[in-house]
Structure 1
Amino acid sequence: MTVAHQTSRNFGIDCMRGLAILLVIVHHLALPFRLPLGPSLAGDWLPARLLDAISFNGYEAVFIFFVISGFLITTRIAGQDGDLKRVDLRRFYAARAARILPLLGLVLALLTALALMGVPGFAPEPGQQSVGGLLGAALTFTFNWYEGRTGWAPAGWDVLWSLSIEEVFYLGFPLLCLALPRRLLVGSLLVLGWRAGHTRIDAEQSALRAAQENATTNQ
C-alpha cells in the first residue's frame, strides 16, 4: 500500500505545478521586457492590473512549490511512520541532505568556476559582492539575506534564494511549532510570507522603473 501511494500521480498537484511553472516563465519574461502580454491581443482586451498580476506572480508560484513540497513530504512521512509524532528526525534530515547536497555541491562548483573566469551573469560586480560571499551564503542557506544586504546577485546565482528559504524552513519551522501556539504560528507565517514576497516584488519593479527612466533619459 505504501509503495502504491508514493508512486501514484495526483492530477490536482500536477495542475498546480504546471500553473506555477507557467507563472515563473512569464515572470522571467516580464523582467527584461516589462509586461510581455501588453503588446499582444491580451493587452487590448484585459485590464493592465490583471496583466501585471499575471506577469509578476512568479514568487507566488514559488510559494506554491513550497506548499506542494511540504504536502508531499508530510504525506510520505505519515505513510512511513503512521504519525508525525513518531517521525525519525535523524532519518528525515539524512534523506533531505542526500537529496539536496550532492547536486547543490555540483552547481556551486560550476558557478564558482564561471565566476572566477569572469563570465557575465556569473561574476559578481567588483566591490558589491564577492565569490566567497556568494558561496558562503549558498552553503549556509542565507542567500536571500545576503542579497538583502548587498543587492541582486548575478543571474546565475540568484536562483539560490529559494533554496535558502526552503532549507531554513526545514530547520526553523519545527522549532516554531514547538514554541508558539497554533493560531499565533499560523498568523505569523501568513504575515511574514506575504510581506517577504511583496517586498521582493516591489524592489524588482522599482529597479525596472529606474532602468526604464534611465533608458528614456539617455534617448
Structure 2
Amino acid sequence: MSLRPPRNFAIDCLRGVAILLVVVHHLALPFRLPLAPSLLGPWIPKRLIDAVSFNGYEAVFMFFVISGFLITTRLLERHGDLRRVDLGAFYLARARRIVPLLLVVLSVLTLLAALDVPDFAPSSAQSLGGLLGSALTFTFNWYEGRTGWAPAAWDVLWSLSIEEVFYVSFPLLCLALPRPLLIVVLAALALSLLPLRALVPVSDEVWWEKAYLPGMSAIAWGVLTALVAQRWRPGPRDARALALFGGFCVLLVIGWGDLVHRHLFKSGMYGLCVGTGAMLIAFRALVPSPHGALNWLARMGRLSYELYLSHMFVVLGTVALYRALLGPSQAWTFVVYVPAVIASVGLAVALEGVMKRLTGLATRAMRGTWQTRTDAADISPGN
C-alpha cells in the first residue's frame, strides 16, 4: 500500500500558476516587449502584460515555498516527527524524483551544446564540462556567478541547485537539533531573506538573482508553514479567508510589485512567501474538490518538474521559428503563447511517460537480479 496521500487539487493548481508564469516569462524575454508592440498591445493594460510576462523569478520563489511545505508535510505524515527522519529513504526518494529526468535533459543539452547550437553552447568564459559538472554537483549557481550568465537553455538549473543543496542539509538538521532550536534556525533563515539579498550588490546581476541563501530562505518559509499546518487546521470559514488573504498578497506582488517595493519597504518577497504559505495552509485544511475548468492548470502543476526542466527546448524553438518566419516584427508575438504552452505540456507529458517506463524497467531488472541471486543461493554448495 502506498504511503503517499492523495494529491491536493488546489495546491496542484497553485503550482500550475507558478509554472505557467515561468514558461510565459521565458517566452517574453526574447521579445523584450512581448505583447505591447503586438496587434493586441493597445487593447491590454500594460500592468497586466507586465504581471503575466515578467514574474517568472517570483514564481520560482513560490515554488521554493511550495516545495518546502510539501516535502516537510510528507515527512511529518510518514514519520510523525522530523526527528525520526530516515536519511537513507529521504535521499533515495529525492534521487529517484530528481536524477533520472535531470540526466536525460543534461544529455540533450550537452549534445546541442557540442553542436554549437545558439542558446545551448557555452560562452567564451565557460566550458561544456563546467556547465555539466556544476549541474551534476548542484553548484551551478557558483559557476554561473563566476563566469556570467549561462546559455538560456541551461539557465533554469539554478533553482534546482538551491533546492538540492537545502535538502542535503535539512534532514541532518532535523536529526541534530531539538525541535525548538530547529524552528529558531528556520525562522532566522526565513526572516533573513531580504537582508541576505541586500548583501549582494544589484550590479552583480547573476549572483543577486541566484545566490543560494535567499532561495533557501523561501524554502524555510515553506517548512515553517508545514509545521504550522501540522498543529493548526482552520475551519472552512477561516480557511477561505486565509486563502483570500494569501491570494491577495501574491496578486499584489505580481501585479503591483513596483508599488510594493516603493511604498512597503521593499517587502515584496516576504509578501510572496507569506501569501503562498497562507494559501497552502488553507488548501490543506479545506481540500477543495477538483473543478473541470481547472483540470488543465492542475495537470500543469503535477507536471511542474518535467515542465520546468524541459520547457526551454520549446521556448527557444518557438522564438527561432517566429523570427525565421516573421523577422524582427513583433506584431504577431501574441500568437505564439498558447501553442508554445501546449507544446511544452506535451513534451512534459512525453517525458513523464518515458521516465515511468524507464523506472518500471529498472525496478523489474532490480527485482530480477535479486531473484537470480536468491535462486543461486538456494542451489549453492553451501546449502
How far off is 1:117 after superposition? 2.3
Q: Residue 118 of structure 2 aligns with which residue?
A: 120
Q: Residue 91 of structure 1 aligns with which residue?
A: 89
Report Cα offsets for 1:36-78 as digits up to 9, x if no partner: 23246565553x4554343211011112222222222212111
Tell me the distance in 2 between the aligned counterparts of 1:112 and 1:167. Answer: 21
Residues 38 and 44, structure 1, Cα contact 8 Å, conserved in 2: no
SS of residue paired to 1:6: coil
- How many aligned positions are there? 199
Change (3 A) 1:70 1:193: farther
Tell me the distance in 2 between the aligned counterparts of 1:61 and 1:109. Answer: 26
Change (3 A) 1:43 1:191: farther
Residues 116 and 131, structure 1, Cα contact 8 Å, conserved in 2: yes
SS of residue paired to 1:158: coil
Residues 148 and 206, structure 2, Cα contact 8 Å, conserved in 1: no
Tell me the distance in 2 between the aligned counterparts of 1:63 and 1:71. Answer: 13
TM-score, normalised on structure 1? 0.75
Q: Residue 106 of structure 1 aligns with which residue?
A: 104
How far off is 1:111 after superposition? 1.9
Tell me the distance in 1 between the aligned counterparts of 2:149 and 2:90. Answer: 33
Q: 2:152 aligns with which of 146, 149, 155?
A: 155
Q: Residue 24 of structure 2 aligns with which residue?
A: 26
* Structure 1 residue identity aligned to 2:130: G
Q: 2:70 aligns with which of 47, 69, 72?
A: 72
Change (3 A) 1:45 1:123: closer
Q: 1:17 aligns with which of 15, 18, 31?
A: 15
Tell me the distance in 2 between the aligned counterparts of 1:174 and 1:94. Answer: 13
Q: Which has the higher contact order (CA 8 A, sep 6+)?
A: 2
Q: Residue 188 of structure 1 aligns with which residue?
A: 192
In the alignment, structure 1 segments of 5+ residues that lack a partner are 204-214
Structure number with bigger Rg: 2
How far off is 1:18 after superposition? 2.1
Tell me the distance in 2 between the aligned counterparts of 1:137 and 1:75. Answer: 30
Change (3 A) 1:132 1:62: same
Tell me the distance in 1 between the aligned counterparts of 2:40 and 2:198. Answer: 31
* Structure 2 residue identity aligned to 1:150: T
Tell me the distance in 1 between the aligned counterparts of 2:70 and 2:188. Answer: 24
In the alignment, structure 2 segments of 5+ residues that lack a partner are 210-327, 329-383
- State, as a whole percentage, how many aligned pairs show the same letter: 66
Report Cα offsets for 1:89-108 as digits up to 9, x if no partner: 12101211122222222222
* Structure 2 residue identity aligned to 1:187: L
Tell me the distance in 2 between the aligned counterparts of 1:87 and 1:193. Answer: 31
SS of residue paired to 1:91: helix
Residues 22 and 56, structure 2, Cα contact 8 Å, conserved in 1: yes
Tell me the distance in 1 between the aligned counterparts of 2:77 and 2:51. Answer: 38
How far off is 1:144 after superposition? 1.7
Q: Residue 56 of structure 1 aligns with which residue?
A: 54
Q: In angstroms, what is the RMSD of aligned CA positions?
A: 3.2
Change (3 A) 1:10 1:116: same
Residues 23 and 58, structure 1, Cα contact 8 Å, conserved in 2: yes
How far off is 1:26 after superposition? 2.2
Q: Residue 138 of structure 1 aligns with which residue?
A: 135
Change (3 A) 1:118 1:21: same
How far off is 1:164 after superposition? 0.8
Residues 141 and 207, structure 2, Cα contact 8 Å, conserved in 1: no
How far off is 1:170 after superposition? 1.0
Instruction: Give every structure 1 segment of 4 or more consecutive aligned residues whose post-TM-superposition deviation is greater than 6 Å.
Output: 193-196
